[in-house]
Structure 1
Amino acid sequence: MGKKFPKVYSLQERESALRMLEQTAGERGTPQFTAVSRKTGISVGTLKRWWIKYQLDRQKQLRTKLEEAISSILARIENLAQETNNLKELAPVVKMLSELLQQFSEGEFGEEWG
């Protein structure tokens, strides 16, 4: 008996399975791996590996968006500071940055942001 190699799944199969996992995750955030496995024929272990990579990729994308937003806000603050000595004009921009950082620290960001 020869060695059994793992099945190679197409990109479409992977994307479809990840969509199903996302739909079953609900508010708890934990997908129903077994149910999706039964429906797709993809092993639970494979689904879990895909899910972990998917979540890590999403976190990287969110981090990039946040870094870009903060850089943009800081540049705006710097430009306003050079253009005016009136601190009242800087206050809304600083408040926006503060709220952004507060939301991020509390984990309130989702896909709808950015």
Structure 2
Amino acid sequence: MKPYHYNAKITKVYDADTVTAIVDCGFSINLRIRIRLYGINAPEVRGKERPEGLKSRDYLRSLILDKYVILETIKDKKGKYGRYIGIIHLDGKNVNELLVENKYAVKKDY
């Protein structure tokens, strides 16, 4: 299946692998959706991982919060926890990969 690309504005960064965005679906249709960043796993903002989770979340916030991005969906259906799975692109850069390169997340195979 070919991935879809959407213009989106990031409105919330919960942690470094879950965000909320307003997605432009075309024809003046905008949806607020939660997105799980594809191919990565970041520390949680609760529990034992909290210090690392907050650093990772804050890094992602500094990159994309309140910014317009391109959302590439991997599946156009919700995953296990009710989130869409996707890759975020900002200024031509793959944000998911930036998180791994800068050690704020690790690669995850699905």
TM interval, short-chain normalised: under 0.3
Q: Which has the higher helix share?
A: 1
The answer to which structure, 1 or 2, has the higher relative contact order (CA under 8 A, 6+ apart) is: 2
TM-score normalised by structure 2 residue count? 0.26
Q: Which has the higher strand share?
A: 2
TM-score normalised by structure 1 residue count? 0.25
Q: Report the structure number with the largest CA radius of gyration.
A: 1
